[in-house]
Amino acid sequence: MAVATELMTALVKTQKGDGFLELREVPVPEPGPGEVLIAVKACGICGTDVHVLHDEFPYWPPVVLGHEFAGEIVALGPDVQYYAVGDRVVGEPHTQHCGHCYLCRTGNVQICPTKRSPGWGIDGAFTKFLKMPEKLLHRIPDGMTYEQAAVVEPTANTVHDIIERAKIEAGDFVVVLGPGPIGLLAGLTARAGGARHIVMVGTPADEAVRLKKARELGFETVINLAKENPVEVVKALTGGIGADLVVECSGAPPAIASTVEYVRKKGRVCAIGLTGKESISFPWDKAATKVIDLIFNMSTSYTSWDRTINLIQTGKIPAGEVVSHKFPLDEWQTAFTELEAQRTLKVLLIP
- What does pLDDT average to over the chain? 96
Domain boundary assignment for the chain: 7-150+318-350, 157-296
Q: How far apart are CA 259 and CA 225, in angstroms?
A: 14
Over 70: is that where the pLDDT of 4 sits?
Answer: no
- Residues 197 and 217: their CA atoms lie apart, in Å, by 13
> For residues 310 and 65, what is the distance between their CA atoms, to the nearest angstrom?
27
User: Would the pLDDT of 204 be above 70?
Assistant: yes
Q: What's the pLDDT score for residue 143?
A: 92
Mean pLDDT of 303-318: 97
- 19-56 pLDDT, tens digit per residue, is 999 999 999 999 999 999 999 999 999 999 999 999 98
Overall fold of domain 157-296: Rossmann fold (3.40.50)
Task: Identify the pLDDT of residue 276.
Answer: 83
Q: Is the pLDDT of residue 2 over 80?
A: no
pLDDT in tens, 85-106: 999 999 999 999 999 999 999 9
- Which residues on adjacent β-strands are paired with residue 13? 21, 63
CA distances from residue 194 to 135, 163, 174, 188, 200 in whole angstroms, order as listed? 32, 10, 10, 10, 16
pLDDT at 1 over 50: no
Has residue 3 got a pLDDT over 90? no
The model's pTM is: 0.95
Residue 32 class from Cβ within 10 Å (0-12 exposed, 13-18 middle, 19+ buried)?
exposed
Topology alike, domains 7-150+318-350 and 157-296: no
CB 283, CB 305: distance < 8 Å: no
pLDDT value at position 244?
98
- Confidence band for 5, pLDDT divided at 50, 70 and 90: low
CATH assignment, 7-150+318-350: 3.90.180.10
According to the model, what pLDDT value does residue 322 have? Answer: 97
Q: Which residue type, as a one-letter code, is found at position 92?
A: E
- Give Cα 229 distance to the centre of its chain: 28
- Per-residue pLDDT tens for 252-285? 999 999 999 999 999 999 999 999 889 999 999 9
